[in-house]
Structure 1
Amino acid sequence: MAVIQVQIVTPSGIVYNHRASRVIVKSIDGQVGILPGHTPIIVPLAIDSVRIERVSMDEENVIAVNGGIMEMRDNVCSIIADSAERARDIDVERAFSAKQRAEEILSKEEAVHNSKQQRRAEISLRKAINRISVSKHRKL
């Protein structure tokens, strides 16, 4: 049975390195499903979750990825991300605090007039919402 070796790397180091039967990512153009033998591909990633169906266990791992790129070649799926967190490693309280801060900035009138500040707050909000969403997949 063919498998995919999945590696997720950030500037801080390796976040994930396991074998999988399927990987699902969200590129900036939409969702992409990767199976063993997939044609070589490189895609830019959106702020979203990466879902990985593990081979050795009958489970799915979910990782919050905040942008980056994915390359699939020779049954190796490499994801290089700005930051990434496994569901089990997410500090949910910190994610909710970041979400609240971003919403407060966006609600202020000066953010509407400062497009750079608004853009940063929107990205922070998307990252926080992604982390909160992925945290719901942690095993208890």
Structure 2
Amino acid sequence: MTLNLCVLIPNRIIWDSEVKEIILSTTSGQIGVLPNHAPIATAVDIGILRIRLNENDQWFTVALIGGFARISNNEITVLGNDAEMSTDIDPQEAQQTFEIAEANFSRAEGEKQAIEFNLALRRARTRVEAVNGISY
């Protein structure tokens, strides 16, 4: 049995096919979704979406930048604010962006700037994690 996964962002479809399993970062933690999962709707956090395909049990990684997900009747729809397949991310650019975001965050002045720089840092970290398949 499989799941139908559709990942959409405002300007394109990131993923639209059958999968065996996903691991999704929500605002209340990570959840694993297998066929016949209980119906839920949840907010998606900045984090990694891991997708396991039917053939060869191969895993794919998506850097997902927040949104919402709906799971019902083996259909998963993720409406993301932004997303990138790990294969589309330049590892050197992602690492440089992460280092800049980290430096900016350490120099943040005031609450507003700290919040903005923290979000930029979380986005950059997620892209690095997607490329390297690691978690900080």
Q: TM-score, normalised by structure 2?
A: 0.90
1:83 counterpart residue number = 82
Which piece of structure 1 moves more, 3-12 or 87-96? 87-96
Contact 1:8–1:15 (CA under 8 A) maintained in structure 2: yes
State the match for 2:33 in structure 1: 34
Q: CA deviation at 1:51?
A: 0.8
Partner of 1:95: 94
Moved over 6 A (4+): none
3-state DSSP of counterpart to 1:24: strand
CA-based RMSD of the aligned residues comes to 1.3
Contact kept in structure 2, 1:69 and 1:81, CA below 8 Å: yes
Give 1:134's aligned residue: 130
Deviations 1:68-97 (A, max 9, x none): 111111111111111111110012232223
Q: What's the CA shift for 1:119?
A: 0.7
Indicate the structure (1 or 2) with the bigger Cα radius of gyration.
Answer: 1
Identity of matched residues, %: 26
Q: Which residue of 2 aligns with 1:121?
A: 117
Correspondence for 1:7: 6
Where 1:123 maps in the other structure, the secondary structure is: helix
SS at match of 2:55: coil
Query: Deviation at 1:129?
Result: 0.8
* Matched residue, 2:64: 65
How many Å separate the matches in 2 of 1:12 and 1:56? Answer: 29
Q: Partner of 2:48: helix, strand, or coil?
A: strand
Structure 1 unaligned segments of length 5 or more: list them. Answer: none
Q: How many residues align?
A: 133
| 1:14-53 paired onto structure 2 within 5 Å | 14-53=13-52
Offset of residue 99 of structure 1? 1.6
Larger mean Cα displacement after TM superposition, 91-100 or 63-72? 91-100
Q: Distance in 1 between matches of 2:80 and 2:26?
A: 12
Q: Determine the C-alpha separation between the residues in 2 that align with 1:57 and 1:16.
A: 18
What is the distance in 2 between the residues matched to 1:74 and 1:81? Answer: 20
